[in-house]
Amino acid sequence: MILTEQQTDRIIEMAWEDRTPFEAIFYQFELAEKEVIVLMRKELKRSSFNLWRKRLNSGVSQKHLYKRNSEIDRFKCARQRMISGNRISKR
């Protein structure tokens, strides 16, 4: 699969976020966890990649749905504020 620069940037952004599971990346881009790891290794500096892998393996990250008892029903944090026009709406 050939990814555009914008898609690659989005996948990297999603992979860095602790709350975005690999299943969401697969759902949107059809990249399995191993393919995401290969992409991250290719696109990131070695030190950045090592930090990312360390976070994944430390247990802090919840990159798998089985760790959190939920399903993919949306792709943003529940606490993220809605943006309308140029104003951020209150909760």
DSSP per-residue codes, 6-30? HHHHHHHHHHH-TTS-HHHHHHHH-
Whether the pTM exceeds 0.75: the reply is no
Q: What would the pLDDT profile of 50-79 be if each residue is shown by its tens digit?
A: 999 988 887 655 665 655 555 555 555 555
* Residue 29 predicted with pLDDT over 50: yes
Q: Kindly indicate the confidence band of residue 21, based on its pLDDT and cuts at 50, 70 and 90.
A: confident
The Cα–Cα gap between 31 and 24 comes to 10
Q: Where are the alpha helices (DSSP H) in the chain?
A: 5-16, 22-29, 33-43, 46-57
